[in-house]
């Protein structure tokens, strides 16, 4: 049933005239007439459709629910019963649960991968929503039947999951869920970024008393080699390793890998506290950790695990890695190596409690496992490069690398790019903020360098800038500052509303002068302290611009794809 038929049915049920509806909805009688004749339809997420639904609900004297009417009419236009933004979030969550990339989806639907990318970024809409939704649902159902992430998708769909395991029934259920689910789950990337945005290292240090922590010096009694069996003893083994690594005089880095199931161990609150204290003590001692994460799992689970590491990442003392390819389906392994102690163990998958851990401080054994750990690390890939003021040269190297990497760019900002600020505006801001002369010279040189890099990027690549907008009250409460994060500048040089508006106009002029660039305004301002730069198909730079300044260069394919799909509601 098309839009005009649905609308006329409502008018007949209520018993009103077109003029009554025009008066109740504040839509002209001529427009109502065209809607009824089928000569015109409003956009599914337009203000006009909402006004129309409100008018029908008002005229029904409470018999009709405004939202139900709106969704019913919208479904006849778009092929979905939810607003498009909700549909898009449902779609992104489904693809994340399937760990499906754009190329796989494009092949399944016979689309160009770039077209899929534009749809997922919100820049394009499918011409035929019904055909697109059906194609997505069939693709997802087939992957589930093949055993790829079916349990994660089952949890995602909840009550929508069909009673039978028939692929056609599952495809129908998936299509229904995509087009009717009003409450998409929180994006795993969004959740990670929200925690990253809000994290304050000083607050964390005070909360866990990290600054007051004393690294123990009392010796720990440990046989040269000790065997641990069963879940309880395995917990003791991990804690003993941490104790010995902290108490030894060695300052060698620590290498850690485990794909052992963590559910049972993590459920023990007392063990979790001891484990976190031990990790904090390692960092307090000044040791560097090479952590190989298990990433061969659905994205929501992977990102949830990484969230818990944010406080430790922020110290800059951890280098995270991952292995490409599927893990061993028979054995679970653990291998931890410190300067004078090593831990290794294994278990049959599904039978962790029957496994065995061995902790050793035998010199020859420690050297043997150290060599194994180093060889293991050689086969791992960086999960992300973590850049702080201590290794700032790596950020410059990344920027040079990024400038030569082909691909469309998307930049999500909580403040304006320093490379687009006019020289005279920068001078006035430095003067008003009473910046000392030597510091001014440094900032000027930095801004000039960023301006050259910015001009090169906008002249070379397709770029989409997503900039936060703020109300007067929001600006007063959280005034944005110059983005000096790439020079690790401490202290804020804040904008006045007039200065921010002037800088925005300058950015707007640059964008308008480059046809390959676009500028969008994020009215919801999801982040206040994060800048995100995405090079499609290659890497993501996530920068924390306040408290403390830190940069994550992410190259893990699933994470890069998820960042490409992440979006806050955008108003052009």
What average pLDDT score do residues 72-83 get? 71
CA torsion 15→17→23→26, rounded to 10°? 90
pLDDT tens-digit map of 481-531: 999 999 999 889 999 999 999 999 999 999 999 999 999 886 556 678 899
pLDDT at residue number 178: 86
Q: How confident is the model at residue 569 (pLDDT cuts 50, 70, 90)?
A: very low
Q: What confidence tens digit (pLDDT) does each residue in 338-348 have?
A: 999 999 999 99
Domains and CATH numbers, the chain: 3-78 (1.10.260), 84-180 (1.10.260), 198-382 (3.30.870.10), 389-565 (3.30.870)
In this structure, the number of other CB atoms found within 10 A of the CB of residue 498 comes to: 9
Residue with more model confidence, 303 or 520: 520
Q: Which two tokens stand for residue 342?
A: 């090593």
Find out whether 91 and 181 touch, Cβ atoms under 8 Å.
no
Say whether pLDDT at 240 is over 50: yes
For the cut 80, the answer to whether the pLDDT of residue 293 exceeds it is: yes
- What pLDDT score does 90 carry? 83
What integer pLDDT is reported at residue 494 of this predicted model? Answer: 92
Angle between helix 129-145 and 84-98 (nearest 10): 20
Q: Is 30 exposed, middle or buried (0-12, 13-18, 19+ CB in 10 A)?
A: exposed
Indicate the range of 30-39, 188-197, 297-306, 320-329 predicted with least confidence: 297-306
Q: What's the whole-number mean pLDDT along residues 81-110?
A: 81
Angle, helices 84-98 vs 167-180, to 10°: value is 140
Q: Is the pLDDT of residue 399 over 50?
A: yes
| Whole-number Å distance between alpha carbons of 277 and 564 | 36
pTM above 0.85?
no
Task: Say how far residue 435 (Cα) sits from the centre of its chain.
Answer: 35
The per-residue pLDDT for 325 is 72
CA distances from 272 to 185, 241, 278, 310, 554 (A): 27, 15, 10, 16, 28
Longest dimension (CA), the chain: 92
**Residue 117 backbone phi and psi in degrees, to 5:** -60, -45
- Give residue 218's pLDDT band: very low, low, confident or very high (50, 70, 90): low
Question: For 448-476, how does the pLDDT look when each residue is reduced to its tens digit (9 = 90+)?
Answer: 999 999 999 999 999 999 887 777 888 88
Per-residue pLDDT at 72 exceeds 80: no
pLDDT at 572 (0 to 100): 38
Q: In which region does residue 408 sit, left (phi positive, over 0), alpha (psi from -120 to 50) or beta (all else)? A: beta
* Beta bridge pairs of residue 91: none
Is the predicted pLDDT of residue 389 greater than 80, yes or no?
yes
User: Is residue 345 within 8 Å of 358, Cβ to Cβ?
Assistant: yes
| pLDDT for res 103 | 83
pLDDT tens for residues 402-450? 999 999 999 999 899 999 999 999 999 999 999 999 999 999 999 999 9
User: Average pLDDT of 308-320?
Assistant: 83
Distance CA 544, CA 9 (A): 54
- Would the pLDDT of 185 be above 60? no
162-171, 252-261, 389-398, 427-436 — which is least confidently predicted?
Answer: 162-171
Chain centre distance of CA 542: 10
- Residue 294: which pLDDT band, with cuts at 50, 70 and 90? confident
Q: What residues contact 87, with CB distance under 8 A and at least 6 apart?
A: 78, 80, 178, 179
CA pair distance 181, 82, nearest whole angstrom:
7
> Which pLDDT score, from 0 to 100, does residue 211 have?
56
Residue from 88, 3, 87, 90 nearest 53 by CA: 3
- Give the rounded percent of residues in the chain with a pLDDT score beyond 70: 88
Model confidence pLDDT, tens digit, residues 29-61? 888 888 888 777 787 767 888 899 999 999 988
What is the 8-class DSSP label of residue 46? S
Q: Per-residue pLDDT tens for 323-332?
A: 987 666 788 8
Q: Whole-angstrom Cα distance, residue 448 to residue 301?
A: 42
Residue 151 in this model has a pLDDT that exceeds 80: no
| Whole-number Cα distances in Å, 494 to 11, 134, 227, 479 | 55, 50, 58, 6
Asked if the model's pLDDT at residue 571 lies above 60, the reply is: no
Can you spell out the DSSP letters for 433-496?
TT--HHHHHHHHHHHHHHHHHHHHHHHHS-EEEEEE---HHHHHHS--B---GGGT--S--BPP
Give the Å distances, CA to CA, from 305 to 143, 189, 263, 345, 544.
24, 12, 12, 22, 20
Three-state DSSP at 567 gives: coil
> pLDDT tens digits for 219-231?
556 668 999 998 9
Q: Of 254, 274, 272, nearest to 264 (Cα)?
A: 272
| Strands laid side by side in the 318-322 sheet | 225-229, 356-360, 342-348, 331-337, 254-258, 289-293, 318-322, 381-382
Kindly report the average pLDDT of the chain as a whole number.
84
The pLDDT value given to residue 428? 95
The set of residues, in sequence order, having a beta carbon less than 8 Å from that of 96 and lying 6+ positions away, is 187, 188, 298, 299, 300, 562, 565
Q: What percent of the chain has pLDDT over 90?
A: 37
């Amino acid at each position: 049933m098309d839009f005009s038929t649905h609308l006329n049915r409502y008018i007949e049920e209520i018993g009103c005239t077109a003029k009554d509806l025009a008066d109740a909805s504040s839509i002209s009688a001529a427009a109502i007439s065209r809607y009824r004749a089928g000569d015109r339809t409003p956009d599914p997420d337009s203000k006009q459709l909402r006004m129309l639904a409100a008018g029908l609900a008002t005229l029904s004297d409470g018999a009709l629910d405004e939202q139900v009417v709106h969704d019913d009419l919208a479904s006849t236009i778009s092929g979905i019963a939810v607003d498009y933004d909700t549909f898009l979030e449902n779609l992104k969550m489904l693809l994340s649960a399937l760990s499906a990339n754009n190329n796989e989806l494009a092949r399944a639907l016979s689309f160009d991968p770039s077209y899929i990318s534009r749809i997922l970024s919100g820049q394009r809409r499918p011409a035929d929503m019904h055909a697109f939704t059906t194609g997505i649902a069939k693709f997802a159902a087939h992957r589930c039947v093949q055993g790829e992430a079916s349990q994660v998708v089952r949890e995602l769909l909840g009550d929508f999951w069909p009673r039978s395991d028939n692929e056609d029934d599952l495809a129908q259920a998936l299509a229904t869920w995509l087009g009717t689910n009003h409450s998409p789950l929180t994006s795993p990337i969004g959740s990670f970024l929200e925690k990253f945005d809000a994290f304050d290292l000083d607050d964390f240090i005070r909360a866990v008393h990290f600054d007051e922590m004393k690294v123990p010096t009392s010796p720990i009694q440990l046989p040269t080699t000790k065997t641990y069996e069963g879940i309880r003893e395995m917990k003791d083994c991990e804690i003993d390793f941490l104790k010995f690594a902290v108490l030894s005089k060695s300052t060698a880095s620590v290498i850690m890998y485990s794909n052992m199931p963590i559910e049972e161990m993590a459920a023990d609150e007392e063990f979790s506290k001891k484990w976190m204290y031990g990790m904090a003590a390692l960092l307090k001692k000044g040791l560097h950790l090479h952590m190989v994460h298990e990433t061969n799992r659905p994205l929501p689970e992977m990102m949830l695990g990484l969230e818990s590491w944010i406080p430790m990442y922020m110290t800059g003392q951890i280098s995270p890695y991952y292995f490409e390819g599927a893990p061993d389906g028979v054995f679970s392994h653990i291998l931890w190596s410190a300067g004078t102690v090593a831990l290794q163990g294994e278990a049959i998958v599904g039978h962790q409690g029957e496994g065995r851990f061995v902790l050793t401080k035998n010199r020859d054994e420690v050297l043997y496992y150290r060599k194994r750990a180093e060889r293991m690390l050689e086969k791992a890939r960086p999960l992300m490069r973590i850049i702080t003021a201590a290794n700032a040269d790596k950020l410059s190297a990344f920027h040079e690398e990024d400038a030569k990497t082909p691909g469309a760019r998307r930049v999500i900002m909580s403040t304006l790019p320093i490379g687009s600020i006019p020289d005279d505006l920068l001078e006035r801001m430095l003067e008003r903020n009473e910046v000392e002369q030597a510091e001014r010279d440094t900032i000027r040189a930095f801004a000039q360098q960023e301006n050259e890099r910015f001009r090169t990027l906008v002249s070379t690549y397709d770029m989409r800038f997503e900039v936060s907008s703020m109300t007067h009250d929001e600006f007063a409460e959280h005034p944005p500052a110059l983005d000096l994060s790439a020079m690790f500048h401490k202290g804020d040089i804040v904008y006045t509303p007039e200065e921010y508006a002037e800088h925005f106009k300058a950015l707007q002029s640059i964008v308008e002068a480059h046809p390959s660039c676009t500028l969008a305004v994020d009215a919801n301002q999801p982040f206040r302290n994060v800048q995100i730069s995405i090079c499609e198909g290659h890497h993501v730079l996530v920068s924390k611009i306040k408290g403390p300044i830190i940069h994550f260069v992410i190259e893990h394919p699933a994470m890069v794809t998820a960042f490409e799909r992440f979006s806050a509601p955008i108003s052009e």
